[in-house]
Structure formats: C-alpha cells, structure tokens
Amino acid sequence: MTDIKAVFLDFDGTVYSHVTEGIPSSTIKAVKKLKEKGILVFLCSGRALPEMEYFDLSELDPDGMILTNGLMAVDRNKKIIYDLPCEGELRERLIEVFQRKKIPIYFSTLDRMFINYVSDIVHHVQDAVSSGIPPVKQYEGEIFYMASAFIDNEESYREMMSLKEISEITYWHEGAVDIVPKGVSKPTGINKILEKYSLPLESSLAIGDGENDADMLRHCAIGIAMGNSCKEAKEAADYVTEDIDADGLYLALEHYGII
C-alpha cells in the first residue's frame, strides 16, 4: 500500500456539492481523519483566490490551495507559494477578446475578478456553480492569471478553440471554459507543493470530477474519480467512487485504507 502523505482535492463537485450548496458532513469528517494522521490536505481548484472567499472552509482547514488550474498555490495562511501570471501572446489575444466584447470573458487577478459584459449564459453558468457574477469593468492593464470564457454558440466555440496552440482549455461547465498558458495544469501546482514539503510524487493522492482534473488523476500515485465525474475524469482514474452526495470522497479514502 502506498504511504500517502499529501491529498489533493478538487473543490466543485468533489468537496463542494452544488445540489446541497454545501460540503457534505462525511467529507469534513474524512478531511479531519486525514489531518489527524498527519496527512497534508490541499484543495486543487480551477477557481481563483478571490472566489474561494465565497465559501466557508473553516471546518476543512486545508493546508493550502492550488488555484486557477495550477497557475498559483497558497499556504494555509493564503501566502503565495508560487504564481504564474498570463504573459506573452496568450495574454495579448485574451485582452483582444475581452475588449471586443463578442464573447463574455472574465479575468482572475490576485485579489479580484472582472468580466467584460454579462449575458444569459453567464447568469446560467454562474448560478449552476453557486457563484456570483464578477463586476463588469474595462481592462486597465492588470496582471491576470486565468481567463474564463462563456460559450453558447459555434462562433464563440471556434474562436476560443483557436487559442489551443498557445493555451490549455478545459470545460468546467457545458457553457464555460478556463484558459491558461500552454503546459500548465493542476499537476504543475501539485509538483510545486510536493517540492515545498519535500514529498515524493509516490506519496500523493488526488480526487476530482471534472475535465480539468483528469491530468492530476493520472499524475498522482492514486487518482480517484467521483461517481458524478465526467467521462474524461473517470477514464483517467485508478478508481471510481460514489457521487459526492453519497459520501463518495469518504468511501474512496476508506476503500484505500487511508482513513
């Protein structure tokens, strides 16, 4: 049995249920058991740091968070461990999309998020993920990390997919994608965390449900997909557990004898 020292948990659909709009009590219990055994627990999300302020994480008390799909990590006190702002050609092309205002798109900075304009698809998606809508504002030269675009027609799909040569694009809802620089993903953050704490990759376990979790499920020593996972996550996983609202996270860790 692998000696697990660090567990990386996706947030939406893995830790946080959008059905109950809360964290299952069994998940809180599982995390407490991990921490009692001295296992480090990190949230590993596509969300930005400002977004995580919407949620009460006090009962989880994570040892840190990997955010914006691997572009940033913070410790338990939200001090930055590393960050990788969007730069170069990708940055310029995203700014062009933002300013043209034909596709709703928001940027995530260190301390805020803002969107170019709001349409019906924005309301639909943000409601589905229990999140507010970022304020509308002009781009004023801010350093940003990730962009999230809302797609509801073929034209916007083609335009965003044209960025694939210089970026990683993953769906986090059927109507929305995250865009980060080429070569960056959740494993980028996992490697940085393991390096900081002098832990081998062989001591890592990841649990997720989304397309942006597939890479980390393949990357860690053990990769677990939630029962409510998308096809890509399930195919990448070593094991598929029950749904989030059927105590899936707790049962998965129990299955491997970790708690």
Write the pLDDT tens digit of every residue in 187-230: 999 999 999 999 999 999 999 999 999 999 999 999 999 999 99
Q: What is the mean pLDDT of residues 86-91?
A: 96
Q: Give residue-wise pLDDT tens across range 104-142.
A: 999 999 999 999 999 999 999 999 888 889 999 999 999
What stretch(es) of the chain map to CATH 3.40.50.1000?
6-84+184-255
What stretch(es) of the chain map to CATH 3.30.1240.10?
88-181
CB 125 within 8 A of CB 167: no
The pLDDT of residue 54 is 86
Structure tokens at 87: 């730069």
The pLDDT of residue 34 is 98
Residue 41's Cβ-side half-sphere holds a number of Cα atoms within 13 Å equal to 25
Alpha carbon of 115 to those of 55, 94, 150, 177, 218: distances in Å?
21, 12, 11, 14, 33
List the strands of the sheet with 146-150, edge to edge.
113-115, 105-108, 146-150, 176-181, 167-173
Find all residues with CB under 8 Å of 10, minimum gap 6, and list them. Answer: 43, 44, 45, 206, 207, 208, 209, 210, 213, 216
Work out the pLDDT band at 53, boundaries 50, 70, 90: confident
For the four alpha carbons of 245, 248, 253 and 259, in that order, the dihedral sign comes to positive
Structure tokens at 65: 């968070």
CB 99 within 8 A of CB 139: yes
Structure tokens at 20: 């109950």
Tell me the percentage of the chain whose pLDDT exceeds 90: 93
Nearest Cα to 178, choosing from 155, 150, 153? 150
Buried b (16+ CB within 10 A) or exposed e, 89-122: ebbebbbebbeeeebbbbbbbeeebbbbebeebb
User: Does the pLDDT of residue 241 top 90, yes or no?
Assistant: yes
User: Does the pLDDT of residue 2 top 80, yes or no?
Assistant: no
Q: What is the mean pLDDT of residues 79-92?
A: 95
User: CATH for 6-84+184-255, among 3.90.1150.10, 3.40.50.1000, 3.40.50.300, 3.30.1330.10?
Assistant: 3.40.50.1000
Q: What is the mean pLDDT of residues 81-103?
A: 96
Q: What is the DSSP letter of 66?
A: E
Q: What is the mean pLDDT of residues 69-96?
A: 95
Q: What is the mean pLDDT of residues 234-255?
A: 98
- Amino acid (1-letter code) at residue 202: E
User: CATH for 88-181, among 3.30.499.10, 3.40.605.10, 3.40.50.1780, 3.30.1240.10?
Assistant: 3.30.1240.10
Q: What is the mean pLDDT of residues 19-32?
A: 97
Structure tokens at 39: 């296992």
